[in-house]
């Protein structure tokens, strides 16, 4: 009896879509960049297809975060265990994010990418992206980061907090945590019907995710094509030293720091770990969004690594909002790069402020493409670097955003693996 042909793995299909979209985009940018037909393909094919795929993932984020986090807290049950896990999770996030920033600042001080940027390139970038930079600066000026960020975590109206174009995920997490704690404190017979409804919402969300992921190879190809066909490699070359510094920092943290953390704290083989989470990494790279990747991160963590739903449902939604290793590293490198470009000499004390602010603003960054840029402008203003200089890096930000999102979501899984192991769970080999 003939055996059935082996189906191609999902992550292989996504990778093929990634490569095909990137190659097609680079070729079109090289030979047809000024052709009207390319603009039509972008407007009526690649952009809509990519956005549809992205929207399908993002539309389940709110119900999935609320249901999974509430269920996670309710299933933990013991408030002492919940407090222990919460403290470990927060401590892990802060320490690993600080390590990421320090890696970035060390590299930018060694390589000094700002010294290599030609004056002609600087003027061209400022002219091209000055209007966008001004818009972002206006958004940053309206961002009330500080004590109001803490106050805003407790929403007056939880529905209004999540009904915005960019939902307040910290507020949603607080409400979900409170709902989960409430379920543990009321009688079991009253809590059970609510838990069953949340389980149903969770299962429906997973079904929608699986449908969306069938479209992933095409959606990924469309997203990558849109980026590479517009920018090609010209901008990467112009800002080569800066791009290399950021990518080197991300790579060192991803395969260096995370490998050590997975081996020491989760007691798991790093090679097996990266193999099992490659679908998460590819999805993060193509969508540039921790929120859009969240459904895949939850599914892969539970199915491939064997992390219990109550732990994955607690740690990973928190990580999608609070654990922004890649974003913090990117912010640290960018601040020092722009300081070097504009001849602003930042002392050791000023660089320490950059470390602290990069960690704090990374927590407040929206888990959507380029969500960290307005907060990055606040850090620039704080250390005396001209915020208009953000125009220099806007052209390459989408590519770097894709890369740093990989670090963000992989860090969420490493934390979930560590918490699971600390609670006595043996991860799936």
How does DSSP assign 3-71, residue by residue? PPPPPPPHHHHHHHHHHHHHHHHHHHHHHHTT-HHHHHHIIIIIHHHHHHHHHHHHTTHHHHHHHHHHH
Tell me the CATH number for domain 61-422: 1.10.3860.10
Mean pLDDT for all residues in the chain: 80
User: For residues 331 and 371, what is the distance between their CA atoms, to the nearest angstrom?
Assistant: 12
| pLDDT given for residue 113 in this prediction | 85
Determine how many CB atoms are found less than 10 A away from the CB of residue 412.
32
The residue with greater pLDDT, 277 or 288, is: 277
Q: What is the rounded average pLDDT of the residues 121-130?
A: 63
pLDDT band at 134 (very low <50, low <70, confident <90, very high): low
User: For residues 127 and 99, what is the distance between their CA atoms, to the nearest angstrom?
Assistant: 35
- 159's CB contacts (< 8 A; 6+ apart) are none
| pLDDT given for residue 154 in this prediction | 84
- 196's CB contacts (< 8 A; 6+ apart) are none
DSSP sequence for 347-394: -HHHHHHHHHHHHHHHHHS-SSTTTTHHHHHHHHHHTT--GGGGHHHH
Q: What is the rounded average pLDDT of the residues 22-45?
A: 84
pLDDT band at 1 (very low <50, low <70, confident <90, very high): very low
- The rounded radius of gyration (Å) of the Cα atoms in the chain is 22
Residue 238 has pLDDT above 70, yes or no: no
Residue 404 and residue 290 in contact, taking contact as beta carbons nearer than 8 Å: no
User: 125 — alpha (psi -120 to 50), left (phi > 0) or beta?
Assistant: alpha
Q: What is the rounded average pLDDT of the residues 313-331?
A: 85
pTM for the structure as a whole: 0.73
Q: Phi and psi for 167 in degrees, rounded to 5?
A: -60, 150
Q: Helices marked H in 215-347 — which ranges?
A: 216-231, 234-238, 240-251, 258-264, 270-276, 278-287, 290-305, 309-322, 325-341
User: 37 — alpha (psi -120 to 50), left (phi > 0) or beta?
Assistant: alpha
pLDDT band at 233 (very low <50, low <70, confident <90, very high): low
- Retrieve residue 184's tokens: 């543990």
pLDDT band at 116 (very low <50, low <70, confident <90, very high): confident
In angstroms, the first-to-last Cα distance of the chain is 31
Residue 248 and residue 103 in contact, taking contact as beta carbons nearer than 8 Å: no
Residue 139 has pLDDT above 70, yes or no: no
Residue 353 has pLDDT above 70, yes or no: yes
Q: How far is CA 64 from CA 54, 57, 279, in A?
A: 15, 10, 19
pLDDT band at 276 (very low <50, low <70, confident <90, very high): very high
**146: helix, strand or coil:** coil
Q: Burial, 202: exposed, middle or buried (Cβ in 10 Å; 0-12, 13-18, 19+)?
A: buried
């Amino acid at each position: 009896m003939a055996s059935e042909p082996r189906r191609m793995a999902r992550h292989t299909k996504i990778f093929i879509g990634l490569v095909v979209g990137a190659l097609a985009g680079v070729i079109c940018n090289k030979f047809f960049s000024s052709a009207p037909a390319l603009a039509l393909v972008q407007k009526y094919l690649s952009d809509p297809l990519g956005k549809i795929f992205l929207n399908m993932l993002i539309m389940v984020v709110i119900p999935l975060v609320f249901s999974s986090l509430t269920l996670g807290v309710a299933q933990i049950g013991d408030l002492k265990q919940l407090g222990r896990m919460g403290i470990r999770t927060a401590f892990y996030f802060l320490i690993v994010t600080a390590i990421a920033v320090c890696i970035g600042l060390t590299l930018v001080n060694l390589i000094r990418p700002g010294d290599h940027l030609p004056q002609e390139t600087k003027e061209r970038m400022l002219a091209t992206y000055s209007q966008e930079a001004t818009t972002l600066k206006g958004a940053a000026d309206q961002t009330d980061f500080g004590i109001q960020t803490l106050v805003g975590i407790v929403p007056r109206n939880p529905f209004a907090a999540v009904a915005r174009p960019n939902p307040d995920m910290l507020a949603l997490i607080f409400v979900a945590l409170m709902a989960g704690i409430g379920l543990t404190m009321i009688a079991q017979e009253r809590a059970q019907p609510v838990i069953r409804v949340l389980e149903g919402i969770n299962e429906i969300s997973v079904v929608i995710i699986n449908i969306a992921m069938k479209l992933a190879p095409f959606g990924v190809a469309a997203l990558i094509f849109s980026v590479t066909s517009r920018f090609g490699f010209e901008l990467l070359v112009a800002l080569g030293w800066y791009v290399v510094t950021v990518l080197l920092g991300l790579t060192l943290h991803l395969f260096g720091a995370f490998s050590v953390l997975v081996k020491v704290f989760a007691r798991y083989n790093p090679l097996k770990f990266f193999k099992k989470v490659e679908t998460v990494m590819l999805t993060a790279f193509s969508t540039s969004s921790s929120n859009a990747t969240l459904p895949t991160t939850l599914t892969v963590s539970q199915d491939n690594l064997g992390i219990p739903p109550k732990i994955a449902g607690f740690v990973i939604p928190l990580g999608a909002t609070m654990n922004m290793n890649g974003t913090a590293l990117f912010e640290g490198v960018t601040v020092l790069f722009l300081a070097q470009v504009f001849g602003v000499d930042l002392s050791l004390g000023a660089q320490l402020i950059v470390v602290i602010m990069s960690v704090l603003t990374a927590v407040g960054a929206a888990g959507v493409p380029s969500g960290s840029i307005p907060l990055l402008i606040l850090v620039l203003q704080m250390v005396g670097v001209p915020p208009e200089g953000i125009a220099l890096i806007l052209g390459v930000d989408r590519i770097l955003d894709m890369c740093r999102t990989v670090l963000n979501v992989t860090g969420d899984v490493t934390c979930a693996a560590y918490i699971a192991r600390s609670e006595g769970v043996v991860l799936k080999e």
